[in-house]
Amino acid sequence: MVKVYYDQDINSEVLQGKKVTIVGYGSQGHAHAQNLRDSGYEVVIGLREGKSAERAKEDGFEVKAVAEAVKDADVTMVLLPDENQPQVYVESIKENMKPNSALAFAHGFNIHFSQVVPREDVDVFLVAPKGPGHLVRRTYEEEAGVPALFGVYQDVTGKAADIAKAYAAGVGAARAGVLETSFQEETETDLFGEQAVLCGGVTSLVKSGFETLTEAGYQPEVAYFECLHELKLIVDLMYEGGLENMRYSISDTAQWGDFVSGPRVVNDETKARMKEVLTDIQDGTFAKGWILENQANRPQFNAINAAEYKHPITQVGKDLRALMPFVGESVNK
């Protein structure tokens, strides 16, 4: 089995006393910054003026313009949206980094697809938490953690892997497990996971189930509870103990239905489509489409987003959640 690193396996000395600059203070940024600070590191935030900068100041951080913030940093972690990283890198980061310092990412996209070409005199590594930023922070506060991958693209100091592992431990990931990867593997598996399973796969499955029930005349509220709300309870059981724990908890009738009907819905045809999705990721087709979509100011992204917002599942969900105060939004944007 692959080596999984935990706190006791990681020597954090390489990062002690070093200055860490976090560029961006969004989902991942606020979590890395606050967790590293609580782990004893000196953290500065690099940002433009705006909402995030205000929030970072309120949270007690020193906030500087990106170009200033990276100047004396030993580690510069870039936590901007992937599509903004190339421009900010060229304009504010590239020429301002110290030689032999480290340029770090939480996702390999821009390095792997050559949108950011790093200087040759810096370490380049990634620490990619396998979970949303708000959970990276919340679990840290609960003395738990979200697992992370680390990988090294460029090692000029000979210490890049050790710094990456220490950084991962600093954000709390080594409580859950830290695995070594490459930029290529992290990028391709992360894109595949979010497209085919975690985000794209699940939203399409939920919507198709909801539509099938409502088109057959069942009440939308019942369909919402059945196909969306209850999903969390099922996923929690899988998270805690795998598919077998979920199947142990559900009724035997549900388990029989799982066995005979699951493979009729997600079948060989679906898997063939998954392979196409993976091929598009591997050969750069997906990356090219997303980069061009951004250069065109996202016409298709915005159109689909607006149409999705009008889907009946959105409206019925809003009404039902308003009646369940304990459900509340966990992401404060």
Binding residues for substrate: 251
Residue 125, token pair as written in the block: 């590594």
Contact set for ligand NDP, span 51-70 (CB under 6 A): 51-52, 66
Dihedral angle of Cα 212, 218, 224, 228, to the nearest 10 degrees? -40
* The binder of ligand NDP chosen from 28, 34, 101, 181 (CB under 6 A): 28
Residue (194 or 308) nearer to Mg ion, CB: 194
Residue 238, token pair as written in the block: 């899988």
Contact set for ligand NDP, span 93-122 (CB under 6 A): 106-107
Active site residue 134: no
User: Which of 89, 162, 83, 78 is closest to 128 using CA atoms?
Assistant: 78
Contact set for ligand NDP, span 236-255 (CB under 6 A): none
Size of the site for Mg ion (CB under 5 A): 2
- Alpha helices by DSSP H, listed for the chain, are 27-38, 51-58, 66-71, 85-88, 109-112, 133-141, 160-170, 183-192, 200-215, 220-224, 230-249, 252-265, 268-282, 285-295, 299-309, 312-322
CB of 127 to ligand NDP, least distance (A): 9
Residue (5 or 61) nearer to ligand NDP, CB: 61
Residue (148 or 237) nearer to ligand NDP, CB: 148
Is 190 a binding residue for Mg ion by CB under 5 A? The answer is yes
Q: Determine which one of 32, 107, 112, 134 is catalytic.
A: 107
* The binder of ligand NDP chosen from 1, 50, 251, 260 (CB under 6 A): 50
3-state secondary structure of 313: helix
Question: Which residues are identified as catalytic?
Answer: 107
